[in-house]
Amino acid sequence: MLAPRRALAPQRVALMGLGAIGQRLVTLLLARPEAFELVAVLVRDTARAASEWPSLAHLLVADTHALLNTRPDVVAECAGHQAVDAHAETVLGSGTDLVLVSVGALADGARLARLEAAARTGDAQLRLVSGAIGGLDWLGAAHSAGLDEVTYRGHKPTRAWLGTAAADTHDLAQLRSATCVFRGSAGEAALRFPRNANVAATVALATLGLEHTRVELWADPEVADNVHEVEASGAAGRLTLRLANRPDPLNPRTSHITAHSVLHALVRRGAAVSL
Ligand SMILES: NC(=O)C1=CN([C@@H]2O[C@H](COP(=O)(O)OP(=O)(O)OC[C@H]3O[C@@H](n4cnc5c(N)ncnc54)[C@H](OP(=O)(O)O)[C@@H]3O)[C@@H](O)[C@H]2O)C=CC1
Ligand SMILES: O=C([O-])CC(=O)C(=O)O
């Protein structure tokens, strides 16, 4: 584990969202008091969250102003695209770093431009986590060398597609074999599947961009894991990547590793030596 940059000052962290990722992060952050002080958790309904999480009641806030009043060094978003719209610009504009897990929200070009402008105004950083995907360092470096093609392919169990746009186009209950529910650009995938295609947007932003990165999304009754594959080729060589991520028991669309990726981003932010 990387040693902290400021030995005596734990990072003051505020969380946005208390779902599958947020709950796991609370546990992970509270287990490392030497590195992190959890100062606030932003939820939509503080009364409901306080009754479910009485030990967190003193940390719960319902708006950006109250969140920033707790003077976080960094805010970690794990609440979804709508929450990015509601809070991200104000957080960055206030000069507070934001670690973002809902990367697909940046597929909306106007939203991305607003957040970039807010980060510049506030002299803050918007840090995108790798989340449920890997290989981004290689992909970013290979992009610098010149990439010809990048394809991301995601396979998730059928239940991960319930309640998504795939349910409008496919009879998910009747699927007996792997079925492609979307084929197109990363930008379109991220906006049509805000809870299942954040990693598609992440791969695209690291490489050929949202328009030119190809995406396939599959509902697959034969897999138990969230399987993410990337193929890329260019001047530096070829990459073939396949991850089989365990789904989070609280939310099968989300891979267990995602909360750990946010933690890793926070650790690197505060480390004297950083990968
Ligand atoms: N980059 C990546 O690899 C991945 C990214 N993600 C992103 O992370 C997000 C969260 O994932 P996960 O934790 O599994 O989702 P969950 O649905 O389990 O939890 C989301 C939580 O965010 C809360 N929330 C929603 N809107 C707001 C808001 N405006 N303010 C405060 N809280 C809000 C919800 O509260 P309520 O109960 O009120 O609805 C809910 O508790 C996903 O929506 C997706 O965008 C997810 C997986 C991988
Ligand atoms: O957690 C995952 O496996 C990926 C995911 O949901 C997303 O990209 O939105």
- pLDDT score at 154: 98
Question: Within 6 Å (CB) of ligand 1, which residues are found?
Answer: 16-22, 42-45, 78-83, 86, 101-103, 131-132, 194-195, 198-199, 202, 250-251, 254, 258
Inter-residue contact 55 to 78 (CB < 8 Å)? no
Inter-residue contact 245 to 79 (CB < 8 Å)? no
Q: Which ligand is nearest to the CA of 261?
A: 1
Mean pLDDT of the chain: 96
Q: Ligand 1 mean position to 29 CA, how many Å?
A: 18
pTM score: 0.96
Which amino acid is it at 83? Answer: A
Inter-residue contact 189 to 215 (CB < 8 Å)? yes
Of 78, 89, 262, best ligand 1 pocket probe by most atoms within 8 Å of the beta carbon: 78
- Active-site positions read 228
Question: Within 6 Å (CB) of ligand 2, which residues are found?
Answer: 132, 195-199, 226, 245, 253-255, 258
Q: What is the pLDDT of residues 72-83, one digit of tens each?
A: 999 999 999 999
Q: What is the pLDDT of residues 142-171, one digit of tens each?
A: 999 999 999 999 999 999 999 999 999 999
Q: What is the pLDDT of residues 214-264, one digit of tens each?
A: 999 999 999 999 999 999 999 999 999 999 999 999 999 999 999 999 999
- pLDDT score at 8: 60
Q: Ligand 1 mean position to 78 CA, how many Å?
A: 5
Mean pLDDT of 6-31: 93
Distances in Å between the Cα of 93 and the Cα atoms of 87, 116, 216 are 10, 10, 35
In sequence order, the 6+-apart residues with CB closer than 8 A to the CB of 103 are: 128, 129, 131, 190, 198, 199, 201, 202, 205
Q: Ligand 1 mean position to 79 CA, how many Å?
A: 3
- Residue 275 banded pLDDT, cuts 50, 70, 90: confident
Q: Ligand 1 mean position to 236 CA, how many Å?
A: 36
For the CA of 254, the closest atom of ligand 1 is: 47
Extract the annotated binding site for NAD(+).
132, 198
Strand partners, 214: 151, 185
Among protein residues, the one with the nearest Cα to ligand 1's atom 46 is 254
Backbone angles phi, psi at 101, to 5 degrees: -100, -25
Which stretch of 7-11, 161-165, 183-187 has the lowest confidence by average pLDDT?
A: 7-11
Extract the annotated binding site.
132, 198
- pLDDT score at 7: 57
Rounded CA-CA distance 129/98 in Å is 10
Rounded CA-CA distance 78/226 in Å is 18
